[in-house]
Structures are given as structure tokens and as C-alpha cells.
Structure 1
Amino acid sequence: MMTKYEMIIYWSEEDQAYIAEVPELAGCMADGSSYQEAVVNAKQAIDEWMKTARELGRRIPKPKASARKAIAITTEKLGSWAIGLIGSFIPPVRHLSAVLFERVLPAFDNLQEEADNLLVDSYSEYAYDENVTWFIRTSAVKQVEINLHGVGLRHLFEQHFCHLVSNWLRDRRHEANYNKDKHVLISTSEIKIENFRSWKILEELRHACNAVKHAEGNSVEKLEKIRPDLFKNPSIDSLPDFNFSRKRLPVQNPMAGQDIYLQEDDIRKYAFAIEDFWNEFIEKLENHEMA
């Protein structure tokens, strides 16, 4: 059984299974409920692919040179180009956060005053109720802006991650796939990014991003284990009557400013972690630490 072809194995949230792809054999892939099962099924898929190719008279590509040899050549030629590329990832993160804190969030600074003015100017018998409704809904929009900024930071990080893999390691694909990109980067470069000082925070951000986008599910469960405070509305839970232990309600509308409450300090922490990740990556390249 031919096993010399490279396999890229990653977990798929959508399929709830491990996916094993063989990039050198177009369309050759398999899945499994465990890492080992995916590998076994991929080996069978390789045999079937090659059998079909022979029957159709198609060329069977030879396994490429070892990844370690390839990365050694790539790293030697990398020089200031890759460091400059990675350095270009940092300014957009800074600017994105600067706009949030300097332009977007200040628009919500005087909500109570604006609500009071609306009450004074209104002649409706339901003015007070309308005032409260406006304040609650507008406060929720502020929370949406913060939540979405966390999502934006995470996706920006993953797009830069894909850009690095595509341009440095020449693993060119038409779409980004974070799990696949991470596997390619770690297995090929042997840079242990999961040991980076920023990694835990970036994983927290990943779960927060998916929880905000998809609501109740696996990411919500993982996020709750590490940050249960994010599921408490700070404007309500600080009240005396709410200061008691209770079971978390299902996460249903985080895109409406409900159920998940990222705070401004969280955004600062996430932005710093992304910048720290890329700075540490540059350190690894500059010091040639490929272990």
C-alpha cells in the first residue's frame, strides 16, 4: 500500500469528523471519527485513486520531496521578504482597533443623555416606555459592534495566516481553511506555534468568534469553560437582585447584542495577542528556531 504521499489531517466542525486530504492526488480525501481512522481511510482512498488512474490511463504523480528539505530551502531564501510580509500584518490590526475605540464606540458615550432628551421632546403618553426601549436597543447595538469587532479580528488573523502559508510555503489554494493552514504550517516548518505565549488567548478568540457567529454549539461550550463571565450581561448582573448563581440560558442572539458580552478590554487583549503572535513568529525566523 502506497503511503509516501503527504496527508493533511484536520478537524472539521461542519462535518464533525477528522478530514484527511492527499493534496498531490487531486480529489483524494477521506474522513474518520478519529485521527487514526482518518489516516487508515485515506490510505484506502489512495489505493482506490491509483487503481482508478491506472484503469483510465492517467498519470500518477510521484511523491514530492520531503517537506523538511523543502522548508530548509525556503527558509534559507526567506530573508527579509517573509519578515516584511509578516510585519505588514500588524498595522491593519492596530488600525482596526483604533477606529473602534476612537470613532465607533464614542458614538455611544452619551446614551443616557440622549434618551433623556428624547423623553423631554416627546408628547406621547408612552414616552417613558419608548425611551427605555430606545436605550436598551441602542445599548445592544454597542454590544454588537464590540462582538463583531472580535469576529473581525479573528478572521483578519486567519486571512493573514492563510496568506503566509500560501506565499511562503507555496501551498496555494483558492480558499482559506484555518485548520488545514495550521497543519501545513506546523508540519512543514516545525515552528511550534501552539507553544507561543499568545496561543491560549488566540484560541479563546477563536471560540468567541464562532460562538458569536453560530450561537449555541460546540464553541459556546468551549468558551464557557474558559470564560464563563462572557455570558453575563454586565449591566444586569451587577444589580443586587441578579447577584446569584443560575444556569446559563441558551445562546441564541449574540449578533443582536445578547447572550455573549465581549468587553472593550477583551478586544484590546485579543488585538495585542495577534500582534504578539506575529512578533514571536518573526523572532523565530530571525533566530532560525525551527524546533
Structure 2
Amino acid sequence: MNNEKIITMQQLNKSHMNDLLSLATIVGWDYDEEEIQTLLVSGTMYGHITEEKTVIACAAIIPYGANLASIGMVIVHPDFRGRGLAKALLIKCMEQTTKNRAIMLIATEQGKPVYDKLGFKNYSHVTKLLGKGNHIKIELDGYSINPLEKTDVEEMLVLDQAAFGSSRVVFLENRIKQAKDSLVLKNRKGVIVGYALTVKKPSNLVIGPVVAQDDEQAMLLIQTIIANNQGSTRIDVIEGKNTIIKELQKLGFQIANRPPVMVKNIEAFPNRNNSLYAIAAQAYG
């Protein structure tokens, strides 16, 4: 592959699926076809392609409302690193959004120097925890947890916008289609006060997003998912939710890493109401 010449940068689509899966596998990321399809239909993905029509670098940008966008799945094949390919793709992604929109990403150790040079600043971090499902007793204490119904979606989207700070209707509609579990937490009056999604990846069940009004509600959703899954489980908890991290550690979860959340145009980053507990995945911010 070293001798192949890069001939173009172009927008990627489903026809590039096998190459994108190969890239993710090479760098050890837990991606499957469904995950990449969600990225493709929720945002726009660009890549560098060789004369042999092989994708050797990629990056995606996903818009959320008028004030926020997220960059994810930034990968360069190891044989082509050090040529500025990631930087070129990031600039292309950033050109697709307005100048006054905040752009966020969750950085890898390898990518952080490039993000620094492009003006991204450290904003916060997420804590990636890995564990296994186990049988635990759950006391709902007046709450109910049920599968998301079509009649619940509008109410759930309102909760999510306040939690995330910006509308991500398109992404969530696609994520719900991909989800293994879509759960809503209702209070005694039948009002939705939280929700959680899960996605089954090749290596793990990924929990997220998780939105709730307080720690107790968030743990009820998370515990319900853990109790119904006996395999490997991953959750990326946002900064400041230390009680959730401690509770997960009591259940046998271990911290894998704490990658930084970086933001460009940080002054435009939308306000959040502190009800977001876990992100969907690092690719989506």
C-alpha cells in the first residue's frame, strides 16, 4: 500500500463501506456496518482515495441544530500518516459548517496535536468504562421503565435538546433504528423524565445516550440495561458525573481511559441543563 498514490479527496458513501470497516479494524475501533451507516446518514463523511480506489483516510462531520456540530471517525491508515491527511480532512469538514457554530470532537492521543493546531481547545472529558452485565435487583420506587413508543419520541426529543444543548433529531432518529434497546423512564404521572439507548457492537453493548434529571434516575436506566445484558458493556460518562462512575465501579466496571472533549469556537458552545449523563459514542460527541 505504501506505493499507492493519493489521487483525490471526496465525499464517501455506502459504496465505501468495506474500506471504512477495514480502516476501523486496523486502528482497533469497535465499528460495524450499522455504525458506519448511521454516521453516513446522520452527517457527511470525506476521505482520501488512492489510484486503486482504496480509502486510506476518513473523517465525518455531523450537524446538530444551528449552533453545534461534531467531528468523528477521524482515521488515517498507519502507512499514510505524517502527510497532513487528517488535517486536510478536518479542514474540509469544518468548511461544511458556519463560522459561528461550535465544533466538538473527542480526541485520541494521536490526533490531539492536529486538533491543537487547528484551534480546538480542551473543554471537558468523558470517562470510558468497561464491564459486564450482571443480575442486580432494581428498586424503581414509583418510576416505570418501558420500551420507547412512537408516541414518546417527541417528548424524548425535547428532553434531549435541553440536555445536549442543541437539536439532534436526525441523528437520534437514525440511532433509534440502530438501537438494541430504546428505553424511557416515566414518573408516577406518566411523564418522561429520562431515556437511554443501547447499540450492540462487535465487542460490546454500548450504553448511550443517557439523559435523566438526577443521578438516581440515570442509575435506574443504566442498571436496567446492565441487568438485561450478560455480555461486555461500555459506557462513556460525561465529566462531573462522579456518582455514576463510582456506582458503576461498585458493579465491577473499570475505567479504560478519559479522552478529552475539544471544542473550536468554544464561545458558541450551547448551554446544557446538566441532564446528559452518557454520550452515544465518541464519534458523535
Max Rg structure: 1
Task: Answer whether TM exceeds 0.5 for this pair.
Answer: no
Name the structure where helix makes up a greater proportion of residues. 1
Bigger share in strand: 2
TM range (shorter): under 0.3
The alignment's TM-score, normalised by the length of structure 1, stands at: 0.23
- Greater relative contact order structure (CA < 8 Å, 6+ sep): 2
TM-score (norm 2): 0.23
